[in-house]
Amino acid sequence: MTQTQEAARTRTFGWTDPAEHASRLGRLSGLEILQSMSAGDFPPPPIMQLIDAAGMRVEEGSVTLELDPQEFHYNPLGTVHGGVLSTLLDTAAACSVHSTLPAGVGYTSMDLNVKFLRPATISSGRLTCTGTVLQRGRRTALAEARITDAAGRMVAHATSSCMIFEIPAA
């Protein structure tokens, strides 16, 4: 092995069946589902396991996610990839909307407008992403999310519009 070559790093992870999440949508409110995930009583969705999210806090209208930056989050420049940060922002914003919905009502992101303010790396420490509902109507909602590093500096922020809809009975 030359100096420029190094042994490949590997990562293994598992996830739960996403159908398990869908089965709860008609029986529990969004807040109940998210609180159950936060408490560890219900597994997080596969995307949270993919990015290795460190934690979740939930209250009605606001969801906070945590992520410890790792090498596998990096882009070729050696910083956390914008797609990982965008995933955190989208998840926190959309889940904040979900936390306001009754059983049988779903949502989907319609757009995400992201502004990156500073790079994040392992040395940034734990990233905290908080999403908050700004306005919710019958058909749409507007939410924002902000990521801060361990020193409290803002790394990125976003606004998101979500469509709200009835989930057909199974």
Tell me, what CATH number does 144's domain have?
A: 3.10.129.10
Neighbour count for residue 134 (Cβ, 10 Å): 14
As a whole number, mean pLDDT of residues 28-51 equals 92
The answer to the question of residue 38 being in a domain is yes
What is the pTM assigned to this prediction?
0.92
> What are the backbone angles phi and psi of residue 94, rounded to the nearest 5°?
-65, -40
Give the structural domain span for 141. 18-166
Residue 148 lies inside a defined structural domain of this protein: yes
Whole-angstrom distance, CA of residue 41 vs CA of residue 105 = 21
Is residue 4 domain-resident?
Answer: no
Please report whether residue 11 resides in a domain: no
Encode pLDDT of 72-128 as tens digits: 999 999 999 999 999 999 999 999 999 999 999 999 999 999 999 999 999 999 999
Edge-to-edge strand list for the sheet holding 127-136: 53-59, 62-67, 127-136, 140-148, 154-166, 105-116
12 found inside a domain: no
Is 8 domain-assigned? no
Determine, yes or no, domain membership for 58: yes
| Residue 98 forms part of a structural domain | yes
Work out how many domains the chain is built from and give that number: 1
